[in-house]
């Protein structure tokens, strides 16, 4: 890792998406490297943080994991207002969750910060036999809407760190270097080092 010209930035990131799409599970995977089969439905919202080093910039993500239940919808602007990044999560085995994700994206385009980095996560990518939402359709939608798109699995960890790393790289304050050298996760509980390509 380059050590010269180090700078630290804080980036507020919000997760939005349908009930049960796997928002909390993605955060738990990214922040603690864990997965649980029976994750409890989020009430209101939960806060986490995780630090990533991208080249010589240290990005501290301040993560708001929101509740997907409809009765909490009106709270969402509190969490996405002023956010540098948003991850909109759907479940690849559930078409209704993809429809819900597209509604969130419309809402963010209308009400969110105009230079917000937006990522669409097609989660539960380990459940290929139950897939209802095709990769191709989503790829086209993501491209047309200027979104980063990854199919992730909080269960197997596929593409999870990679997605946060790609988001960090797109933050306006992070200048991409010519030869990206990978990322370092510096979050608790254990100090971990990994390459951008190690887990996808």
Instruction: For the CB of residue 71, give the shortest distance to ligand GTP in the complex, in Å.
Output: 11
38 binds ligand GTP (CB under 6 A): yes
Q: Which residues contact 185 (CB under 8 A, 6 or more apart)?
A: 50, 51, 52, 161, 192, 193, 194
User: Alpha-carbon distance 77 to 40, whole Å?
Assistant: 23
Instruction: For the CB of residue 178, give the shortest distance to Mg ion in the complex, in Å.
Output: 39
Give the one entry of Mg ion, ligand GTP, none that residue 124 binds, where binding means its C-beta sits below a cut-off of 5 to 8 angstroms depending on kind.
Answer: ligand GTP
Partners of 17 in the beta sheet? 89
When the beta carbons of 56 and 126 are compared against ligand GTP, the nearer one is 126
Number of separate helices (H) and strands (E) present in the chain:
5, 8
CB-CB contact of 59 with 53 (8 Å): yes
127 binds ligand GTP (CB under 6 A): yes
Instruction: For the CB of residue 5, give the shortest distance to ligand GTP in the complex, in Å.
Output: 37
When the beta carbons of 54 and 63 are compared against Mg ion, the nearer one is 63
Q: H or E element: which one contains 50?
A: strand 45-54
97 binds Mg ion (CB under 5 A): no
Q: Please state the separation of Cα 113 from the chain's center in Å.
A: 17
> For 51-100, what is the HEC assignment?
EEEECCEEEEEEEEEECCCHHHHHHHHHHHCCCCEEEEEEECCCHHHHHH
User: Alpha-carbon distance 105 to 121, whole Å?
Assistant: 12
Among 55, 94, 153, 159, binds ligand GTP (CB under 6 A): 153
Q: Please state the separation of Cα 27 from the chain's center in Å.
A: 8
The piece of 41-49, 52-60, 108-116, 173-181 that touches Mg ion (CB under 5 A) is 41-49
Site for ligand GTP in 39-98 (CB under 6 A): 39, 41-42, 67-69
122 binds ligand GTP (CB under 6 A): no
Give the one entry of ligand GTP, Mg ion, none that residue 22 binds, where binding means its C-beta sits below a cut-off of 5 to 8 angstroms depending on kind.
Answer: ligand GTP
Instruction: For the CB of residue 55, give the shortest distance to ligand GTP in the complex, in Å.
Output: 29
Using CB under 5 A, count the residues that bind Mg ion: 3
| Positions in the binding site for ligand GTP (CB under 6 A) | 17, 19-25, 36-39, 41-42, 67-69, 123-124, 126-127, 153-155
| Positions in the binding site for Mg ion (CB under 5 A) | 23-24, 42
């Amino acid at each position: 890792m380059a050590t010269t010209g180090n700078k630290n930035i804080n980036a507020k990131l919000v997760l939005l998406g349908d009930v049960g799409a796997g928002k909390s599970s993605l955060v738990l995977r990214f922040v603690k490297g864990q997965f649980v089969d029976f994750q409890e439905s989020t009430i209101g919202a939960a806060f986490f943080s995780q630090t990533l080093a991208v080249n010589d910039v240290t990005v501290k993500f301040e993560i708001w994991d929101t509740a997907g239940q409809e009765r909490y919808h009106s709270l969402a602007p509190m969490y996405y207002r002023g956010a540098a990044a948003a991850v909109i999560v759907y479940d690849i085995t559930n078409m209704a969750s993809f429809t819900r994700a597209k509604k969130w994206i419309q809402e963010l385009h209308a009400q969110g910060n105009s230079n917000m980095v937006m990522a669409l996560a097609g989660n539960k990518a380990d459940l290929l036999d139950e897939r209802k939402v095709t990769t191709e359709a989503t790829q086209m939608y993501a491209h047309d809407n200027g979104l980063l798109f990854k199919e992730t699995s909080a269960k197997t960890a596929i593409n999870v760190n990679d997605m946060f790393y790609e988001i960090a790289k797109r933050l306006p304050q992070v200048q991409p270097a010519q030869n990206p050298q990978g990322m370092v996760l510096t979050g608790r509980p254990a100090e971990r080092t990994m390459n951008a390509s190690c887990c996808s």
